[in-house]
Amino acid sequence: MTSRRRVLRVRDGVHTTRPDTLTVEEPLEIRVGGQALSVTMRTPGDDFDLAAGFLVGEGVVRAPADIRAIRYCAGATADGGNTYNVLDVVLADGVAPPDASVARNFYTTSSCGLCGKASLDAVRTTVTWPVAADPFATDPAALAGLPDELRAAQRVFDRTGGLHAAGLFDADGKLLCLREDVGRHNAVDKVVGWATRAGNLPLAGTALMVSGRASFELVQKAVLAGIPLLAAVSAPSSLAVDLAAELGLTLVGFLRGTSMNVYTRPDRLGLQPS
């Protein structure tokens, strides 16, 4: 979703007024069974996928049957209107809601995440599909093409220059799904949510490519969706590398053309440390 605004453009001392296309950013409140869970700043669109993917990343949802319904909440405004910025997820009977003691009831930005030993322990105990034994194999040449494939598929980025992207690829570098958002975490949630609602979890034998850096939370989301390889165009954090190493995820950073840093499990690329 985009919006148009007038902007004063200055080039070489000459200024002109012209329209500019901006990425829309609005809050989305995610509720589970009517109880508020999180508020995230996102680009409207694919909101149901975002909510489903978020709950996969929280270890709550593992299959489409775990979700009975997702709906926008009417009456979200004082006059009873619908802002389409509040979602309620109704879980199926027998699916445990998020634990109130660990539920993240806070305002979420694109730079936030979990950290520390408690977070590592939480991910370790909620993994449904261990990725360490996934026989996924590719090669550096196939990975080298992912950033260009990702960029070429970013339709809204072409118009605004202001969006992150997450793309799901097979071992041959074929793009399976792409989502854009102002937040990297949201883009990944939308991809995972798409796969969840289509009944494609776990995402064994796939690679996730993200714009920007690879944070702990992105590694967490990949592992909980059963994705064995995560690649990013920028750097990973130390905690992201720690989690990837512990759980057997292949983590690649600074993927730019034929140049890349492989931080964990290089064997999936047919490589061995020298």
Q: Where are the beta strands (DSSP E) in the chain?
A: 2-11, 14-23, 26-32, 35-42, 67-72, 86-91, 107-108, 164-170, 175-181, 206-210, 229-232, 250-256, 259-264
Pairing of strands 26-32, 86-91: parallel
Domain 131-269 is found in CATH 3.65.10.10? no
Pairing of strands 206-210, 164-170: antiparallel
Range 176-200 burial, b when 16+ CB lie within 10 A, else e:
ebbbbbbbbbbbbbbbbbbbbbeeb
| 152: CB partners within 8 A, 6+ apart | none
240 SS3 class: helix
For the chain, give every residue range classified as CATH 3.40.140.10. 131-269
- State the architecture of 26-113 in CATH terms: Roll (3.10)
Cβ(131)–Cβ(226) under 8 Å? yes
188 SS3 class: helix
- Active site residue ranges: 112
pTM: 0.86
For the chain, give every residue range classified as CATH 3.10.20.10. 26-113
pLDDT in tens, 60-76: 999 999 999 999 987 65
pLDDT in tens, 112-162: 444 444 555 666 667 889 999 999 999 999 999 999 999 888 776 555 556
pLDDT greater at residue 218 or residue 6: 218
Length of the chain counted residue by residue:
274
Cβ(146)–Cβ(261) under 8 Å? no
